[in-house]
Amino acid sequence: MKHYVQQFLHYLRQERNASSHTIQAYEDDLGQFLDFLQRHFSSRTVDVSDVDHITIRLFLGDLLERGFSKRSAARKLACIRSLFRFLHKRGAIARNPSVNVASPRLEKRLPEYLDEQAVDRLMDQPDCSTPEGLRDRAILEMFYGTGIRLSELILLSLDDFDMRNGTLKVTGKGNKERIVPIGRKALAALDRFLAVRSWFLAKGTLADTLRVLFLTKRGYRMNPKGVNTLLNRYIGQVSEIEQKSPHVLRHSFATHMLNRGADLRAVKEMLGHESLSTTQIYTHVSVDRLKKVYAQAHPKAS
């Protein structure tokens, strides 16, 4: 079974050009599934033919009993489905055992976002008298000003910007490129950061990172954990929302755009969504806000 999992991960890496973040997530989820199979079938070697739909359902039940959320269980099931779909297409199995396994029913959860006043306060948090503060301010402005993902920000290079036209070339999921506009404030923050960027170029900086936009103080490309830590700290200083990640600024970007009348399809293109239905969740956020205003202000609301 482990052999098939390694084949699948190789396929994601080499043929699908999946990001390192995606590969790691799949590897973790499938590793948990393999551990369960080892426990379920005692100590004997597990063959792929041993796994049926009941085994997968038992795995989901085991996850929930151990305290995993329904959302986490649903994500792991999606991973398992992808594995067995791959194996079925390659002829390794005659039937896909995950087809008839229902996903846990999820509660509808609207994305968390900052209001516009909180965003203004957020931008004032970095100490812009230091190179690191200027870098952090540029990172915050880039997330909010363009709506890009964490993985996309980390990949940015100096060559991706057209400062004259105020646009940015973004490499998104599946290595798909898109062009997004950059706001005036984000451009100004980026310009101030670029003036001190040489401070981050250490003697040991590798040649392939010389053009990387955002670097650590030791001259390395910033990693997801480091950027998440920065955002958690800065957002925590201006808001008590539960989620304090780069995605909060992506949510805020989309919500504020739609609140101010932006076209849904235009926002979809800027976010790099495959489907319009993915973007529509932000219209639900806007409607939810309007309902609260209505409930508070209309005399016949209650």
Q: Could you tell me the strand order of the sheet in which 161-162 lies?
A: 161-162, 167-171, 177-181
Angular region, 67: left φ>0, alpha ψ -120 to 50, beta rest:
left
Q: What mean pLDDT do residues 69-97 have?
A: 90
Q: Is 109 a catalytic residue?
A: no
Q: What mean pLDDT do residues 149-157 have?
A: 92
Give residues with Cβ within 8 angstroms of 140, minimum separation 6: 122, 123, 125, 126, 189, 231, 234, 249
Q: Decide if 231 contacts 256 (C-beta within 8 A).
A: no
Q: Decide if 127 contacts 133 (C-beta within 8 A).
A: yes
Structure tokens, 289: 């806000």
CA angle 229, 233, 237 (to 5 degrees): 165
Q: Is 298 a catalytic residue?
A: no
Q: What is the pLDDT of residue 207?
A: 67
Q: Is 268 a catalytic residue?
A: no
Domains of the chain (ranges; CATH) run 2-89 (1.10.150), 116-295 (1.10.443.10)
Give residues with Cβ within 8 angstroms of 90, minimum separation 6: 7
Helix (H, G, I), strand (E, B) or coil at 53: helix
Q: Is 57 a catalytic residue?
A: no
**Which residue among the candidates 173, 178, 192, 289 is catalytic per the annotation?**
173
**Which residue among the candidates 137, 149, 221, 251 is catalytic per the annotation?**
149
Element (H, E) at 177: strand 177-181
Band (pLDDT 50/70/90 cuts) for residue 32 is: very high
CA 159 to CA 143: how far, in whole Å?
Answer: 18
**Which residue among the candidates 250, 251, 256, 268 is catalytic per the annotation?**
250
**Which residue among the candidates 75, 81, 247, 289 is catalytic per the annotation?**
247
pTM (whole model) above 0.75 = no
Q: What mean pLDDT do residues 36-65 have?
A: 85
Q: What is the pLDDT of residue 38?
A: 86
Length of the chain: 302
Q: Is 185 a catalytic residue?
A: no
Q: Is 149 a catalytic residue?
A: yes
